[in-house]
A and B are shown apart, each in its own frame.
Chain A
């Protein structure tokens, strides 16, 4: 999918400074990462990509669809994974949460149940199908969140710091899972170890895109920017 961002700036009401300032970029690579300090505009940028945030100025187009006019259409093609899985698990049990995204497809109950079973097996959650979602471990919750998003087979997956709350093992698990996905992925992250396989890395600082390049170069730039030695 082509992500086309033109002269975008965004300012939240009541805030003097913009959170994203004068951003223009075209993205069509398979794996795109976004890094930057806290408050640099990364999450707002991610939210713009599926129309959760409509920029105050400029336009965001996803595969030719304008986020301010075609939000619903875009969200059918673009999945969004939040940092805290508890914020996006909306149903009481594991199977119900995966089924939630399929409800509006007009499928029969049996079709939905079969698709849910497949998806839970793919993500190793089949034993937990009837369990309360809030009783899963942090890693399992993030897996469930991903399974619930990906069951609808979006073309593009946006991930906003998906490993921030996870331990090393679960971070690795999510990273392996993401690297095997056929979808285009845009991942906002603070975990620089995840970037090696990415095609392109954007570095944000103080609401602006300050670097755009391959992972090694972008990470070196970011470390220098933060005053941290490699």
Chain B
């Protein structure tokens, strides 16, 4: 099973930009999003982000893949906003969210996880006086990213096991083995980290 939002190797301008700069742009875009007020501005923002995908030579499939998990939220939000505030405002709100999600996905697709983590580690060094260990924060982030695919695989396996035994989807029968499996896998990864010298 393919999970979205993982680095796609490439040699485009966007791939070569420093991770810190890309994260700063993402942060700035998030901050500036409240300034977007009109459908024209929204269309421009969406166009700029999609242009980024073209520059990075990312296929359209990846764009759709990153939006799929949000589809129902976007539809519901768009409908609700359209009923309350009208279609132009709904377009602005939904468009800005979609643009930000696509931009974040573009950063992930064009930046190695280790480079993103390095930026966070560098930034965390400034808060070392609070007793935080930057390397541990970086490791935690990397593990969290790795855990997404592990938990997704585990969820697939639990779902398949349920179906194989003829069970219909039941939240409890799904959640219990998923949580137990995730905790067990966390234990195993803890052992693996210790075995690789990360036990302090």
Contact = CB atoms under 8 A, between A and B. Distances in A.
Interface residues of A, number: 34
A134 B150 contact: yes
B185 A72 contact: no
Interface string B25-54: 000000000000000000000000000000
Nearest to A99: B114
A134 B153 contact: yes
Contacts of B114: 91, 96, 99
A76 B113 contact: no
A199 to B, nearest CB: 24
Interface stretch (A22-30, A78-86, A181-189, A203-211): A78-86
A104 B82 CA distance: 54
Q: Is the interface of B mostly helix, strand, loop or mixed?
A: helix
Contacts of B195: 50, 52, 75, 79-80, 82, 88
Contacts, number: 90
A170 interface: no
28 contacts: A47-B191, A72-B199, A72-B200, A75-B196, A76-B197, A82-B191, A82-B195, A86-B185, A87-B188, A88-B192, A90-B189, A90-B192, A90-B193, A90-B196, A92-B113, A92-B145, A93-B112, A96-B112, A96-B113, A96-B114, A101-B196, A101-B197, A104-B197, A129-B9, A130-B7, A132-B149, A133-B146, A152-B197
Interface of B: 2-3, 6-9, 112-114, 135, 142-143, 145-146, 149-150, 153, 185, 188-189, 191-197, 199-200
